[in-house]
Amino acid sequence: MELIVEDAVFVTMAESAGPTGCMLVRDGRIAAVGSAEEIRAVAAPGAGVVRLGGATIIPGLIDGHCHVSDVGYLAAGADCSQPSAPDIPTIQARLREAAGRTPESSWVTGSGYVEYKLREEQHPTRVDLDEAVPNRPAVLYHTSLHACVLNTAALREAGFEDGQPDPVGGAFGRDRQGRLDGVVYEGPMFALFERNLRHDIAHMGAAQRARLAEMAGQRFAALGVTSACDADLRRDTFAAFAAAKHGLRALAQSMARELGPQGIHVAHVVIDGRIDARSDDSGLAPDAIAETYYRIHTQSRSAWTFEADLRPWAEKF
């Protein structure tokens, strides 16, 4: 199947090429870019045509530092982002719905809200969340992940009480009487998020963890991000990628066996850690990584490997 995409500005990022005005897509892949005349000349008869009204098209973005497991985890909860949830009553309705599908051992979770984009132009409060989820812990994460809102049950389970001072590295929101209003900022929010994430992923089956990775991929793709590097080194959250990583290894092994007789050496190299030239053993030195690649390329055919798993010396297993 072929599709001609025109009436747009295509920025290819190629060093010697400027923007072009047309693109040919063949079987879901970009086959060519160029002028409308050039693309129509190589397109099959009857190719479909889509006009983009002068939009600018860029290559997929690469996010070199993100938290893929976090994105998938939050995507599995209630979508409380704006404009999808324009006001607090809509957020409450979505948390009620999420409560019906959330295991009893987990907190009811929503995320994505921005207080100044809500019709009320303020943070939801513990009272708002209590009305939606009265009998079990519920948390609503701010889109920045630097704040969240807890209902009364969640405040109680987290050990937060009226009258206690703000914690080091964070703060509590309070009402006019000085009572906690449910909003939690910075340090204690980070600790709560990590606690809930670890707990919930640990209690998921393999299919559920794989679904988190899939949902994260869908969310990134919707934003134009086609490649992402997870900066989260917590071992607990790596479980979400177990099935995908197994599939990648199996694919690499199959390709190695199929292409090896053709003189093509396929290698699967896992770089599991921070790339850092410092000599404190906490990161992977670029020169050492390059040396490993070279050794794979020049290894003896009498005893060779297609796989290497590189980790920093200081990593704890």
**Do 150 and 166 sit in the same domain of this protein?**
yes
CA distances from 90 to 29, 43, 276 (A): 39, 48, 46
**Do 130 and 85 sit in the same domain of this protein?**
yes
Task: Note whether residue 188 is domain-resident.
Answer: yes
- Distance between CA 200 and CA 180 in Å, rounded? 26
CATH of the domain at 84: 3.10.310.70
**Do 138 and 164 sit in the same domain of this protein?**
yes
**Do 192 and 254 sit in the same domain of this protein?**
no
**Do 78 and 52 sit in the same domain of this protein?**
no
Task: Note whether residue 212 is domain-resident.
Answer: no
Task: Note whether residue 232 is domain-resident.
Answer: no
**Do 71 and 39 sit in the same domain of this protein?**
no
- Cβ(10)–Cβ(21) under 8 Å? yes
- Distance between CA 231 and CA 182 in Å, rounded? 29
Which residue, of 40, 59, 78, is where some domain finishes? Answer: 59
**Do 45 and 118 sit in the same domain of this protein?**
no
Task: Note whether residue 275 is domain-resident.
Answer: yes
**Do 194 and 96 sit in the same domain of this protein?**
yes
**Do 92 and 157 sit in the same domain of this protein?**
yes
Task: Note whether residue 228 is domain-resident.
Answer: no
Q: State the pLDDT at residue 234.
A: 64
**Do 246 and 303 sit in the same domain of this protein?**
yes
Task: Note whether residue 157 is domain-resident.
Answer: yes
Residue 50: give the domain boundaries.
2-59
- The tens-digit pLDDT sequence of the chain (317 residues) is 899 999 999 998 888 778 899 999 999 899 999 999 999 999 999 999 999 999 999 999 999 888 888 999 999 999 999 999 999 999 999 999 999 999 999 999 999 999 999 999 999 999 999 999 999 999 999 999 999 999 999 999 999 999 999 999 999 999 999 999 999 999 999 999 999 998 998 888 888 888 888 899 999 999 999 988 877 766 666 666 777 778 888 898 899 889 888 888 888 998 887 888 776 788 889 999 999 999 998 988 788 788 898 988 887 65
Q: State the pLDDT at residue 80.
A: 98
Q: State the pLDDT at residue 303.
A: 84
**Do 83 and 186 sit in the same domain of this protein?**
yes
Amino acid at 3: L
Closest CA to 149 of 128, 134, 131: 128
Quote the pTM value.
Answer: 0.75
**Tally of domains in the chain:** 3
**Do 19 and 92 sit in the same domain of this protein?**
no
